[in-house]
Structure 1
């Protein structure tokens, strides 16, 4: 029995609405529904093949580079190019969706202000 599609796969398929700010053939980026910063956008590869950034880096470093470049583009457009990029890997690290994704956080951020 296969796992049901992740919420991100369902957003990619347009089964669930999202505030999409960027899309290419391999990447989608949309605003987080529970933002932890003034700017909080998720950058998600369209493939569900990788559960976390470690798997992505080992299997497809080019796609990981595209995720990072997309984060920079989003920060340039929405946050004066200044941002924090976070990948959560594992339950204890706060990962709740096991479809690799990056959190782009921007706006006024201070050390210790983000609890994840």
Structure 2
């Protein structure tokens, strides 16, 4: 009799356990639960992507600073730089074609290739 009671109790416990597991799995597979899980995964992926982008930006700025130091681009600016050079050939050609214009031409004004000549 003790044996039958033991097996009856073991079977009932296994049935309750299996029923509980199946009900939990069924609740996980409902459309609302699947939508919530997908939204959670999407938010997590967005956070990971944002962290990755921030890491890339920080490392890029750090590497640009390293390259700038190596190439001497981040040094102090010399306050006594020479004045910008003027293109004498362009100016003389421009004034030869347009003597009435007293404005000093720029390279862009003279060599505008978008205009019909």
Q: Place the TM-score, normalised by the shorter chain, in its bin.
A: under 0.3
Q: Which has the higher contact order (CA 8 A, sep 6+)?
A: 1
Q: Compare the two structures and name the one with the higher helix fraction.
A: 2
In terms of Rg, which structure is larger? 2
